[in-house]
Amino acid sequence: MSIYLIADSEIHDPEAYEKYKEAAPQFVARHGGEYCCRGGEFEVLVGDWKPTRLLVIKFPTRDAYDGFMADPDYRPWKELRESISTPKNVLIVKGI
């Protein structure tokens, strides 16, 4: 069953984050993931949620997502992302 990673993050170093954005897609794709949205425009229709930067990635399975997060080649990029951004909300949603 597909899962969706939904993340809202605050970016502290936009220049370094651009380098991360260039590198990350190869690792997402390696694990069968595909970007659904990546920092695009959004509009909150109901509620008081105030996202900063939204990301949605679809993975074929939870195991594929876990493999992406544990990929040793991705580790330095994950560490960079963690040093230049702060996650505000991160969800995993099962697809249908």
Provide the CATH number for the domain around residue 21: 3.30.70.100
User: Nearest 5°: CA angle at 64, between 59 and 79?
Assistant: 95
Residue 35 has pLDDT above 90, yes or no: yes
- Could you give the C-alpha distances from 10 to 40, 48, 50, 88, 89, in angstroms and in order? 14, 17, 11, 7, 10
Q: Write down the pTM of the prediction.
A: 0.92
Q: Is the pLDDT of residue 2 over 90?
A: yes
Q: What is the mean pLDDT of residues 3-29?
A: 97
Number of domains in the chain: 1
| Residue 8 structural domain | 3-94
Instruction: Check: CB of residue 53 under 8 Å from CB of residue 9.
Output: yes
- The residue to which tokens 């330095």 are assigned: 76
Query: What is the torsion angle, in degrees rounded to the nearest 10, for the CA atoms of residue 63, residue 69, residue 72 and residue 75?
Result: 180
